[in-house]
Amino acid sequence: MLDKNYLSLKESIKLLLEHVEFASLPFELIPIEVAYNRITYEDIYAPENLPGFRRSTVDGFAVRSQDTFGAKETMPAYLTVKGHIPMGKAPNFSLGQGEAAEIGTGGMLPDGADAVIMLEHVNIISPDLIEVLRPVGPGENVIFEDEDIRKGELVIPKGRKLKPQDIGALAGLGIAEIKVVKKPTVAIILTGDEIIPHTEKTIPGKVRDINSFVLAGLIDEAGGVPLKMGIVKDSYKDIKALVDRAYSSADVILITGGTSAGIKDMTAQIINELGKPGIIFHGVSIKPGKPIIAGVCNKKPVFGLPGHPVAVYICFELFVKPVLEKMLGITDKFYKTKIKAKLTKSIFSQAGRTDFIRVSLEEKNGDLWADPLLSKSGLIMTLVKAKGILCIPEDLLGFEKNEEVEVEVI
Amino acid sequence: MLDKNYLSLKESIKLLLEHVEFASLPFELIPIEVAYNRITYEDIYAPENLPGFRRSTVDGFAVRSQDTFGAKETMPAYLTVKGHIPMGKAPNFSLGQGEAAEIGTGGMLPDGADAVIMLEHVNIISPDLIEVLRPVGPGENVIFEDEDIRKGELVIPKGRKLKPQDIGALAGLGIAEIKVVKKPTVAIILTGDEIIPHTEKTIPGKVRDINSFVLAGLIDEAGGVPLKMGIVKDSYKDIKALVDRAYSSADVILITGGTSAGIKDMTAQIINELGKPGIIFHGVSIKPGKPIIAGVCNKKPVFGLPGHPVAVYICFELFVKPVLEKMLGITDKFYKTKIKAKLTKSIFSQAGRTDFIRVSLEEKNGDLWADPLLSKSGLIMTLVKAKGILCIPEDLLGFEKNEEVEVEVI
C-alpha cells in the first residue's frame, strides 16, 4: 500500500496494469447477430474456403484463356457458346477447346474455364458464336475458391472487438455462434448523506445523483454492464454492507463520493478489509481526480472515485477503462480521435502534475480554436459543453495563448 | 434523374443532402436511463438552478470573508465556532460577525457566510474557537447556487447525440424523461439467386449472405434500426413485392446485390416506380461502389447498393450514414479518427475518381506504416484485416511509396 504517496499518472497506471493480477472473465456462446462490439474469447479459424468455388467478377463469357491469346479487334478469336450459367447454380457442362459460356458477376466458372472475358470485349455474332476482341490471362476476372478466405486461416483473432465487417465474414463462413468474453459487471455505489435519487425533489442541502448516470454510460461504452447498487449514507457500517453485497455479485466495484473528511478513510479501510492485496495506490498527481483510490481484493478491482462528476469521468477514463479492457482481454490497439487546435488563452499546471482541461472547439477564420472551460470545481456543465480534453503532461507547466495543442475529442 | 452520368463524389453527396427533402422523424418520450447515444428532439432548458444552494468545495469552516481580512500566521483572526453543518442538511443557524461553522466538501453554507477557509489554514484552539491563519476573499471555495447550471439556461441543444455527461446533467436537474428522435428503421433487402442464409450449408454456385450482417452493424452504429427483410430472387416481381412491403414499414430502404447484368436496371425501374422524384443519381465516380443508385420516393430514401461487401461498406459510410444523420437532425460536428502513416507501397487512381483503399497499420522502427490491402475485388477479408481507409481524392492520381498520408481509422 502506497497511501498518500501521490504517484505520478504514469507510475500509477503502470502499477495498476502491470503489477496486479485480475480475475479472468468466462466466455459465453452467442449468435453472431448480437456479437457486434463484443470481444472474441478465442482465435476463430475458417472452417472452409470462401467463396468455395471460382466466381466471375464481371459480366461476360467464361473462357479457356489460351483460346484468346493473340486475339485483337482486327483478328478476333471465334468461340462457340456452349451455354449460359445461371446465377447460383453449378454449371452442368465443362468447356472444351474453342468453347465459352455466358456468365454473370458472381457466377460459377465451369470446369475447363480459367478466365472471364468482359462483355465489352466481345462481339456476339449469334446465340452460339462470339468474337473475342482481346486476350485474357489465366485467372483474369476470376476470384479463386480460397481467394477471400482460405480454409484453416485465422479469420478473427482472440481479443478483437467485433466490427460489422467481422460479423459479415463470420456469416459468410457459416459461423452462426461464437465464444465472446462475458461482459464484466461493474457495481456503482454512491456514498454521501447529501445525495438523493434523480427522481426526487431537491431541498436545500441535498443534490441529485449525477455520477451513476455518467458512470453507467461510460461502463457500457467500455464493454461492461453497470449495476446501480444505490445510494448509501456516510457510515462505515452501511457502506461496508453495500460493498460486501457488490463484491458477491460484481466483477468490478466503484465507490463514488466520499467527499466529506471522514469518509475517505472509511472507503480506504473498507477496501483494505475486503481482500488482498487491498489498496494499490491512494492519491495520484492529477487534476481533477487527485484523491482516487485503486485497490484489488482477491483479484477483483475496487475503486474509490472522487465525488465531482468531472473527476469521476477523468478517473474512469484513466484507470477503470484500461482495467476493464485488460479484463476483457482486448488486444486491438485503439487510436483516440485527436485534433490540433489553437488555444484561446494560456493555461497553467504544476510541475509533476498531469492536468486534464475541458475545452470547447470552434472554427474561426479557418482555424480551429480550443477554448479552455475553466471553473472552480468539477462542474458537470463544463463537461457537457466540452468537445475535447486537453492534457498538460507532468513535465510541462502549461501552454501559451495561440499555441497549437493536440486535443482529444470526446 | 442523372442516370449513368457518373457524378463526382462531391457532386453526388451535395445533390443528395442539399437538394432532396427527407421525411422528418417523430419523437418518443423515454427515460434518461435509456437515452445514451440517442438524439435530442428539442432544446432542453434547466428547470431550476444547479446545485440550488451555495456549497463548499473544501473541508473547512464557513466564514464571513471580511472577518478574515488581514489575518496571517503571526496575527491570526479569532472566530467563534457556532456549530457543525451536517452533510445533506440546511444549517439551522446563520453566522454573525466573528462567527464560523464547520463544513465539509459539498456542505451547504449558512446565511451570513460568504466564503470557506480550508482546514489547512486554521488552528483549532477548542471546539468553540479557531485561529484563521490567512484571509479568504468573498466567494472563495464556494460554488454558488446557479454556478453549475442557471435556471432557464440551455443545457442540451436539439440534435445532440447524448453522451454520459449529458445524461448526468439531466439527472442532476431532475429531468427523468426526455424527447428523443425516433430511430429510423432501415430495411435491408438482399437480391441474388446465388445468396443463401448464413445458417445454410454452401453448395457450388451459392454464397452465404454477408452484406446484411455488415449493414445491420453499420445501421445500428449510425443510430438506426436494421430490419432484415430477407433474400429475394433476381426477379422484377419478387423484388418489387419486397420493396413495396419495406416501403410500408421502413423509413429507409437498402436494396443490395443485383450484381447480375439484368438486375441493375430492374432495381432502378422499381425505385423510379416507387415514388417521386425517384432516382437522384445512378453511378458515382468512386472505387469501390461505382454502380450505387440513390433515390428518394415520396421523401423516403431508397438506395441500390452494389453486391460486394466492401462496396456496401463504403457506400453506406459515404451516402446512407449522412442521410440517416440528416433525418435524425444531428447538429453535432463529429471529428473522424485520423492518423498519419507512411505508405509501404505506391498506389494509383484515375483522375476524377475518388478511391478508398483499405490499409493495415503497423508500427516499425518508430514509424507508423500503412500497408494497402489490394485485391481484385471487394473481398470481405480485406476489410476485416484493415485498420484504416485511405482516400485518394479525385484530383490526385495516387500516393508514392514512403509518402506520409492521412488514414481514417476504422
- CATH number where A248 lies: 3.40.980.10
Distance from CA of B237 to the nearest CA of A (A): 17
Question: Which amino acid is it at A404?
Answer: E
For residue B384, report the phi and psi dihedrals to the nearest 5 degrees. -65, -40
Write out residues 218-277 of A within 8 Å (CB-CB) of B.
218, 220-221, 234, 259-261
Q: Distance, in angstroms, between A31 CA and closest chain B CA?
A: 11
Q: What is the mean pLDDT of chain B?
A: 94
Query: CA Rg, chain A, in Å?
Result: 31
Domain coverage including residue B288: 3-25+183-328
pLDDT-based confidence at residue B377 (cuts at 50, 70, 90)? low
* Interface-testing mutation among A103, A198, A410, with chain B (most B C-beta atoms within 10 A): A198
**Rounded to 10 degrees, what is the CA torsion of A207, B50, B158, B183?**
0
Nearest Cα residue in chain B from A204: B90
Task: Name B13's Cβ contacts closer than 8 Å, sequence gap at least 6.
Answer: B318, B319, B322
Does residue A228 lie within any of the structural domains? Answer: yes
Whether residues A172 and B379 touch (CB distance < 8 A) is answered with no
- Which three three-digit cell numbers place residue B77? 483572526
Closest chain A residue by Cα to residue B337: A337
Q: What is the mean pLDDT of residues B357-370?
A: 94
Rounded to the nearest angstrom, the gap between the alpha carbon of residue B28 and the centroid of all alpha carbons in its chain is 19
**Which residue is closest to A53 within chain B, CA to CA?**
B204
Let me know if B206 is exposed, middle or buried by CB neighbors in 10 A (0-12, 13-18, 19+). Answer: buried
Please name the member of B141, B165, B221 whose beta carbon is closest to the beta carbon of A214: B165
Cβ atoms of A81 and A100 closer than 8 Å: yes
B44 in the same domain as B68: no
Specify the pLDDT at position B307: 87
d(CA B70, nearest CA chain A) in Å: 24
- Is residue B399, in this structure, part of any structural domain at all? yes
Q: What's the pLDDT score for residue A260?
A: 53
pLDDT in tens, B238-259: 999 999 999 999 999 999 986 4
- Taking CB atoms and an 8 Å cutoff, what residues of chain A touch B259? 104-106
* Window from A256-265, A352-361, B35-44, B314-323 with minimum mean pLDDT: A256-265
Is there a single domain that holds both residue A122 and residue A159?
no
Residue A389 contacts B where some CB pair is shorter than 8 Å = no
Which of A55, A168, A201 shows the shortest C-beta gap to B380? Answer: A168
Interchain proximity B165–A59, CB inside 8 Å: no
* Cβ pairs A/B, distance under 8 A: 276
Residue in chain A closest to B339 (alpha carbons) equals A335
Domain boundary among B328, B357, B374: B328
Same-domain pairing of A97 and A120:
yes
Which of B368, B381, B406, B408 would best serve as a mutation to test chain A binding (most A beta carbons within 10 A)?
B381
Contact at CB, A193 and B86, closer than 8 angstroms: yes
Task: Please indicate whether, in this complex, the C-beta atoms of A51 and B195 are within 8 angstroms of each other.
Answer: no
Task: Output the pTM of the full model.
Answer: 0.95
What is the gyration radius of the CA atoms in chain B, in angstroms? 31
Q: Write the CATH number for A36.
A: 3.90.105.10
Question: Which H or E run contains B404?
Answer: strand B404-409
B374 vs A: CB within 8 A = no
Question: Is there a single domain that holds both residue B200 and residue B300?
Answer: yes
Tell me, yes or no, if A370 comes closer than 8 A to chain B by beta carbon: no
Which of B143, B168, B200 delimits the end of a domain? B143
Q: How many residues does chain B have?
A: 410
CB contact under 8 A, B88 and A208: no
pLDDT at B104 over 60: yes
Helices (H), B305-378: 309-315, 321-328
The grid coordinates of residue A55 equal: 466466381
**What's the pLDDT tens digit per position in A36-64?**
999 999 999 999 999 999 999 999 999 99
Report the CATH number that the domain containing residue A121 is assigned in CATH.
Answer: 2.170.190.11
Closest CA to B252 of B8, B4, B16, B9: B16
Instruction: Give the burial class of A55: count Cβ atoms within 10 A of its Cβ; 0-12 exposed, 13-18 middle, 19 or more buried.
Output: buried
Tell me the sheet residues that pair with B347. B399
Q: Which residues of chain A have pLDDT under 50?
A: 1-3
User: Chain B: nearest CA to A304, how far in angstroms?
Assistant: 16
Please report the sign of the dihedral spanned by the C-alpha atoms of residue B137, residue B141, residue B145, residue B147: positive
Judgement on whether residues B203 and B262 belong to the same structural domain of the protein? yes
Q: Of all residues in chain B, what percent are helix, strand and coil, respectively (each to 5)? A: 25, 35, 40
Return the pLDDT at A2. Answer: 37
Rounded to whole angstroms, how far apart are CA atoms B321 and B316?
6
State which of A310, A328, A346 marks the end of a domain: A328
pLDDT digits (tens, 9 = 90+) for B297-309: 999 999 999 889 9
Amino acid at B349: S
The one-character DSSP state at B19 is: S
DSSP-assigned states of every residue in B209-243: --HHHHHHHHHHHTT-EEEEEEEE-S-HHHHHHHH
Q: Is the distance from CB of A407 to CB of A362 less than 8 angstroms? A: no
B317–A contact, CB cutoff 8 A? no
Whether residues B41 and B124 fall in one domain: no
CB-CB neighbors (< 8 A) of A143 in chain B: 376-377, 379
CB contact under 8 A, A384 and B156: yes
In a domain, residue B333? The reply is no
What b/e readout covers A325-337, taking b as 16+ CB neighbours within 10 angstroms? Answer: bbbbbbeeeeeeb
Q: How many CB atoms lie within 10 A of CB B188?
A: 26
Map grid coordinates 495561440 to a residue.
A402
- Report if residue A333 sits inside a domain: no
When pLDDT is cut at 50, 70 and 90, the band that residue B5 belongs to is: low
Q: What is the pLDDT of residue B362?
A: 94
Contact B384 A119 (CB under 8 A): no
Minimal Cβ distance to A88: which of B32, B51, B194: B194
Number of domains forming the structure of chain B: 4
A-chain residues within 8 Å CB-CB of B206? 88
> Using CA of residue A354, residue A357, residue A363, residue A366, what is the dihedral sign?
negative
Q: Would you call B210 and A147 a contact, using CB atoms and an 8 Å cutoff?
A: no
Same domain, yes or no: B234 and B320:
yes
Q: Which residues pair with B180 in a beta bridge?
A: B28, B40
Q: Coil, helix or strand for B264?
A: helix
Question: Which of A165, A321, A408, A410 is the best substitution to test chain B (most B C-beta atoms within 10 A)?
Answer: A165
Contact residues on chain A for B164, CB-CB shorter than 8 A:
213-218, 221, 313
Task: For residues B197 and B284, state if they share a domain.
Answer: yes
Residue B3's pLDDT is 40
B119: which DSSP letter?
G
User: In terms of domains, do A122 and A238 share one?
Assistant: no
Angle between helices B211-221 and A164-172 (to 10 degrees): 160
CATH number of the domain to which B356 belongs: 2.40.340.10
**Hey, is B32 helix, strand or coil?**
helix
Distances A72 to A58, A78, A114, A123, B330 between C-alpha atoms, Å? 20, 11, 19, 12, 55
| Distance in Å, alpha carbon of B298 to nearest chain A alpha carbon | 30
Can you spell out the DSSP letters for A147-168? SSB-TT-EEE-TT-B--HHHHH
Give the pLDDT of residue A1.
36
Q: What pLDDT score does A3 carry?
A: 40
Statement to judge: residues A36 and A159 lie in one domain: yes
Interface test with A, best of B37, B213, B315, B331 (most A CBs within 10 A): B213
Q: Would an 8 Å CB–CB cutoff place B364 in contact with chain A?
A: no
Nearest CA in chain B to A52: B204
Q: Do A155 and A134 share a domain, yes or no?
A: no
- The pLDDT value recorded for residue B6 is 83
* Among candidate residues A324, A322, A359, A318, the one with its CA nearest the CA of residue A338: A359
* Nearest neighbour of B208 by CB, restricted to A163, A174, A207: A174
Shared domain check, A276 and A191: yes
For residue B210, tell me if it sits in a domain: yes
Residue A82 to residue A100: CA distance in whole angstroms = 6
Residues of B in contact with A215 (CB under 8 A): 164
Which residue is listed with cell 441474388? Answer: B192
Q: B residues 32-91 near A, CB within 8 Å?
A: 32-33, 36, 48, 50-53, 55, 57, 59, 86-90
